[in-house]
Structure 1
């Protein structure tokens, strides 16, 4: 073999070996340093330490402070940075809307009235508490399964005097007086279910507006009232006007000999 070829071959081998050395000896690239996450600003909000049911009178142990992302707080939450003494201020309040354990406390669902009774504290503004007679056997209250804070319709059963006068015998009429109203208490019990299957009593106290109050008090004088239990999903619906409410346009109802008649008020 010619000397020139040997020199060329040796040169090629040397170059290949050098390239291989450089590739194999190349250091691993250093990974970029991970960026530290931006810390989330925290605040503390007042939450229910355990489940709080409708009608409960709160004590300091019912509340707790809990860390909460500052950017996620919404209007109505009680923040420790705004009021560090909130737990002490909110004790002896009446719960007007139930809280789950860990749920942020909202002031509008609590009421504190030093000079008010319990029932007036849980009444919604502009409403009245009206008690009606019910049967202890449950025949007029869905078998005693109607409980405080349930929603009901009120049905009146009365004797048809016109049918009786025309010789039709005893004829009775049913009328839905009002719909979708809240039960405040059964007897003296105004607490939520709390594991009870049912509660009993001789009265049911309803939350009614002024027109509904008049209609119910009058209807109780001239007939029998029954409560019909509604689904809990109806609780947020706006109650439609019943026929009795729709006709309450300034008329005065007069009862003579058990018969109710209406005359236009002046």
Structure 2
């Protein structure tokens, strides 16, 4: 091959290589790093909270309380704020818990009391009376022993109907609901469910009653026996159920000494 032709081929090859290189271009630059947005600053203040579970009736010690940061927009009225009352922890020591606190729950002064008398007087609401009724330790008149402090119950009186007993010639027992939706303060000596307690039995149940209700219960215990009927949580606070209208009942056939006679129920 002639040298001139070889030179032309070399030039053409060099030109093609250059064209390919020019058409390919430089690789795209890497994307610029995105700066992370700064975390929003949450304004917080220190409030007094429970360091452990505080059941009703417990006398507070310094180890039961601690200061914890709390978002400013979540601080409610009644919280003990350190910047407003730096000695709140020391002042709370020695007080009695009127209503229990969970761990980490803010302390409210309304749920603390410094009793000058006994513990039961401290946890009673103003205007209420504590009345104890005798119960069966086997649970036969206290919902099988499943009634716990702070449950709501109805009080049922069982008594002997003297007139019906004389007419029938045998004991006739009747029952009547004397109070509805009352709060149980204590069962025996236990005033707060704690440590997974599910069944409590005791000889007495202490109820929180108004003065007039206390009179009703005191009289009912003298003329009969009392039982407690456990109410559902969904029923707590509902208005008293209306009394049922008297029902006409069929006559009862009583056989004594082989003689049959009809008696009203």
Do they superpose with TM above 0.5? yes
Residue 49 of structure 1 corresponds to 51
Q: Which has the larger radius of gyration?
A: 2
What secondary structure sits across from 2:90 in the alignment? helix
RMSD of the alignment, in Å? 3.1
Question: Normalising by the residue count of structure 1, what TM-score does the alignment of the two structures yield?
Answer: 0.74
Contact preservation (8 Å) 1:111, 1:122: no
5+ residue gaps, structure 1: 2-6, 245-266
Aligned residue runs from structure 1 range 105-144, under 5 A = 105-108=107-110, 110-144=111-145
**Is residue 187–residue 200 contact of structure 2 (8 Å, CA) maintained in 1?**
no
Note if 1:149 corresponds to 2:150. Answer: yes
> Aligned-pair distance for 1:129?
0.8
Give the TM-score normalised by structure 2.
0.74
Aligned in 2, Cα 1:52/1:117: closer, same or farther, shift over 3 Å? same
Partner of 2:70: 68
Instruction: Count residues with an aligned counterpart.
Output: 237
Measured in 1, the distance between the counterparts of 2:226 and 2:181 equals 15
| Deviation of the 1:178 alpha carbon | 1.3
Give how far 1:12 is off. Answer: 8.0
Are the equivalent residues in 2 in contact too, given 1:111–1:121 (CA < 8 A)? no
C-alpha distance in 2, partners of 1:15/1:96?
90
Alignment match, 2:182:
181
Query: Do the aligned partners of 1:55 and 1:192 also contact (CA within 8 Å) in 2?
Result: no
CA distance in 1, matches of 2:186, 2:149: 5
Checking the alignment, whether the CA contact within 8 Å between 1:92 and 1:112 is kept in structure 2 is no
Q: Call closer, same or farther: CA 1:129–1:221 in 2, change over 3 Å.
A: same
SS at match of 2:57: coil
Q: Which residue of 2 aligns with 1:34?
A: 36
Instruction: Provide the C-alpha distance between the structure 2 equivalents of 1:45 and 1:83, rounded to a whole number of angstroms.
Output: 10
Indicate the SS of the match to 1:200.
coil
Per the alignment, do residues 242 and 36 of structure 1 end up closer, same or farther by CA in structure 2, a change over 3 Å counting? Answer: closer
The residue that corresponds to 1:241 in the other structure is 240
What do residues 188-239 of structure 1 show as CA deviations (whole Å, max 9, x unaligned)?
44343445542423x32100123322211121121111112334x24x7214
Does the residue aligned with 2:239 lie in a helix, a strand or coil?
A: coil
Unaligned runs of 5+ in 2: 6-10, 244-265
